[in-house]
């Protein structure tokens, strides 16, 4: 089993999503002793896509500039990590009712027509199939699945668009109101995970 461990919380050691993703990865490793883990902290920086990225990665040039080569290298590296993974463990802290900008940037970097998805006569088809995603959803006051939650549905949709349809959420929400209850929900969801 190859595990891709993604964190995006800006709160460092105080982050509940980071604590949960670490626990999930530990459980997966315990159940799969030969598992390998690639860890990427998106908080360390994932560049937003821009015109340079579009020219280099989407359009392609015969002689890319050094800046374009850097954009290609970054996008290729992020995508290769997903392609090599069997299971993605993703930390999803909710900021301002949505996902962190770095997590959105990561999704934009790996959503590549002809590589991670393709257009067909029947509509788009995800090419990153056969993978599982476990998402640690954490929020101080945004209940998962509520009208205020613009994070979990978007992430599920994007993963599905790329072909990752086996998505399980480990929710720790309402932490500002009843931290113990939120953590208990997350623990119950982790206990129910099939390793």
Task: State the binding site for FMN.
Answer: 15-17
What residues are paired with 123 via a beta bridge?
120
Alpha helices for the chain (secondary structure H): 16-31, 51-53, 66-84, 101-110, 152-161, 179-191
Question: CB under 8 Å to 51, separation ≥6 — which residues?
Answer: none
Q: Compute how many other C-beta atoms are within 10 angstroms of the C-beta atom of residue 166.
A: 14
Detail the residues annotated as belonging to a binding site: 15-17
Please return the burial class of 18, using the count of CB atoms within 10 Å of its CB with bins 0-12, 13-18 and 19+.
Answer: buried
Hey, what are 159's tokens?
């993963």
- C-alpha of 20 from chain center: 14
Place of tokens 């390793």: 195
Question: CB under 8 Å to 108, separation ≥6 — which residues?
Answer: 48, 49
């Amino acid at each position: 089993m190859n595990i891709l461990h993604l964190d995006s919380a800006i709160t460092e050691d105080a982050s509940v999503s980071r604590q949960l993703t670490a626990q999930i990865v530990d459980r997966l490793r315990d159940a799969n002793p030969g598992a390998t883990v690639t860890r990427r902290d998106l908080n360390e920086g994932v560049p937003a896509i821009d015109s340079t990225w579009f020219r280099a990665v989407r359009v392609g040039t015969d002689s890319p500039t050094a800046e374009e080569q850097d954009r290609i290298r970054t996008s290729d590296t992020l995508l290769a990590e997903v392609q090599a993974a069997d299971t993605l463990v993703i930390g999803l802290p909710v900021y301002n009712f949505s996902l962190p900008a770095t997590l959105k940037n990561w999704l934009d970097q790996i959503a590549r027509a002809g590589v991670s998805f393709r257009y067909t006569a029947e509509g788009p088809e995800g090419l990153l199939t056969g993978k599982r995603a476990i998402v640690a959803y954490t929020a101080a006051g945004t209940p998962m699945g509520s009208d205020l939650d613009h994070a979990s549905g978007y992430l599920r949709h994007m993963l599905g668009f790329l072909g990752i349809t086996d998505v399980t959420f480990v929710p720790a929400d309402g932490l500002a109101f009843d931290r113990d209850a939120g953590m208990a929900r997350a623990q119950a969801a982790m206990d129910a995970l099939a390793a």
